């Protein structure tokens, strides 16, 4: 049985270097515009501007997996904002189309595309850690929560680094295969085939993009408008409820 690797749990797409990749036509993406109104963070969607309590955005970004699993219940519309950002990312980073009859080149292209996504996710994760460290200072009432989030981000970075290493090992093994049937299996099998992995990585990268955006705007919001007494009270209540037996 051909070798596969386990799907990666929780993932930006730059220009693919191989000439056999053809990017689908993409519409130009309107520059994202974030503004700040007191403790509200506002996103300009072109025709409309929607504002969200930064505490709600903090809660979403600090527990990313639960937030995406329950996006519809994320509160104050931030779940829908996450959906808007994901859709914008997926539209901008369109799925690639491969035009080749050579299975070796097709498989290699999927490996290159997935690794490109993973490397971009690692870049965003490193940026996230810088943002989280700043938030620990700018939002002291949530310092413990941000410290926990930083540890989680660091662990995720390490897990992704191991996945990249495993993926490169799998690539070295599978690219030696000469049988067409086996190569087709490596590309198309579910859930561990190269095409399926690439599809998952695009969705994961879109989620990483959302968290990265939120963690970039939060420090600027706190710089412009330090935590209010009311926000500190709310943070204390959340902390007390989360530590209760």
Can you tell me the distance from the alpha carbon of 33 to that of 19, in angstroms, rounded to the nearest whole number? Answer: 34
* Single pTM value for the model: 0.80
Banded pLDDT at 16 (limits 50, 70, 90): very low
* Mean pLDDT across 10-17: 34
Pick from 15, 151, 38: which is nearest to 92 by CA?
15
The per-residue pLDDT for range 141-177, each reduced to its tens digit, is 888 889 999 999 999 999 999 999 999 999 999 999 9
Question: For the chain, what are the domain ranges?
Answer: 21-228
Under a CB-based contact definition with an 8 Å cutoff, are residues 13 and 113 in contact?
yes
Tell me the average pLDDT of the chain: 81
pLDDT at 95 over 50: yes
Can you tell me the distance from the alpha carbon of 36 to that of 180, in angstroms, rounded to the nearest whole number? Answer: 56
Under a CB-based contact definition with an 8 Å cutoff, are residues 110 and 95 in contact?
no
Q: Could you give the C-alpha distances from 69 to 65, 170, 207, in angstroms and in order?
A: 6, 30, 11
**What pLDDT is stored for residue 61 in this prediction?**
87
The per-residue pLDDT for range 53-82, each reduced to its tens digit, is 998 898 888 887 777 777 655 554 788 888
Q: Could you give the C-alpha distances from 34 to 41, 79, 127, 129, 164, in angstroms and in order?
A: 7, 17, 18, 21, 33
Can you tell me the distance from the alpha carbon of 191 to that of 178, in angstroms, rounded to the nearest whole number? Answer: 22
Q: Could you give the C-alpha distances from 164 to 27, 64, 119, 129, in angstroms and in order?
A: 31, 21, 8, 19
- Between 172 and 8, residue with greater pLDDT: 172
Banded pLDDT at 235 (limits 50, 70, 90): low
Local structure of 207: helix, strand or coil: helix
Percent over 70 (pLDDT), the chain: 76
Banded pLDDT at 135 (limits 50, 70, 90): very high
Pick from 13, 85, 95: which is nearest to 43 by CA?
85
**What pLDDT is stored for residue 4 in this prediction?**
46
- Residue length, the chain? 245
Under a CB-based contact definition with an 8 Å cutoff, are residues 224 and 218 in contact?
no
The per-residue pLDDT for range 29-54, each reduced to its tens digit, is 445 589 999 999 999 877 788 899 99
> Tokens for 150?
């930083």
DSSP assignments along 78-125, one per residue: HHHHHHHHHHHHHHHTPPEEE--S-HHHHHHHHHHHHHHHHHHHHHHH
Choice among 89-103, 104-118, 212-226 with the minimum mean pLDDT: 89-103
> Tokens for 235?
């943070």
> Tokens for 58?
């903090």
Can you tell me the distance from the alpha carbon of 202 to that of 108, in angstroms, rounded to the nearest whole number? Answer: 17
């Amino acid at each position: 049985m051909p070798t596969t690797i386990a799907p990666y749990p929780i993932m930006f797409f730059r220009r693919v270097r191989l000439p056999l990749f053809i990017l689908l036509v993409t519409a130009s993406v309107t520059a994202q515009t974030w503004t700040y109104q007191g403790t509200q963070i506002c996103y300009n969607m072109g025709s409309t501007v929607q504002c969200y309590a930064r505490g709600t955005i903090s809660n979403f970004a600090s527990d990313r997996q639960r937030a995406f699993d329950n996006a519809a219940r994320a509160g104050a519309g931030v779940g829908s904002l996450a959906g808007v950002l994901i859709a914008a990312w997926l539209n901008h980073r369109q799925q690639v189309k491969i035009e080749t009859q050579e299975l070796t080149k097709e498989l290699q292209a999927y490996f290159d595309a997935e690794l490109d996504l993973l490397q971009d996710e690692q870049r965003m994760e490193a940026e996230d850690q810088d943002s989280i460290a700043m938030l620990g200072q700018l939002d002291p009432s949530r310092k413990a929560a941000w410290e926990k989030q930083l540890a989680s981000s660091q662990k995720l970075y390490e897990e992704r680094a191991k996945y990249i290493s495993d993926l490169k090992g799998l690539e070295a093994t599978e690219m030696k295969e000469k049988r067409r049937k086996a190569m087709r299996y490596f590309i198309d099998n579910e859930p561990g085939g190269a095409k399926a992995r690439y599809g998952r990585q695009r969705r994961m990268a879109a989620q990483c993009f959302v968290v990265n955006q939120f963690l970039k705007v939060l420090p600027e919001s706190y710089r412009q408008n330090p935590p209010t007494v009311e926000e500190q009270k709310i943070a204390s209540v959340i902390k007390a409820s989360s530590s209760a037996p």
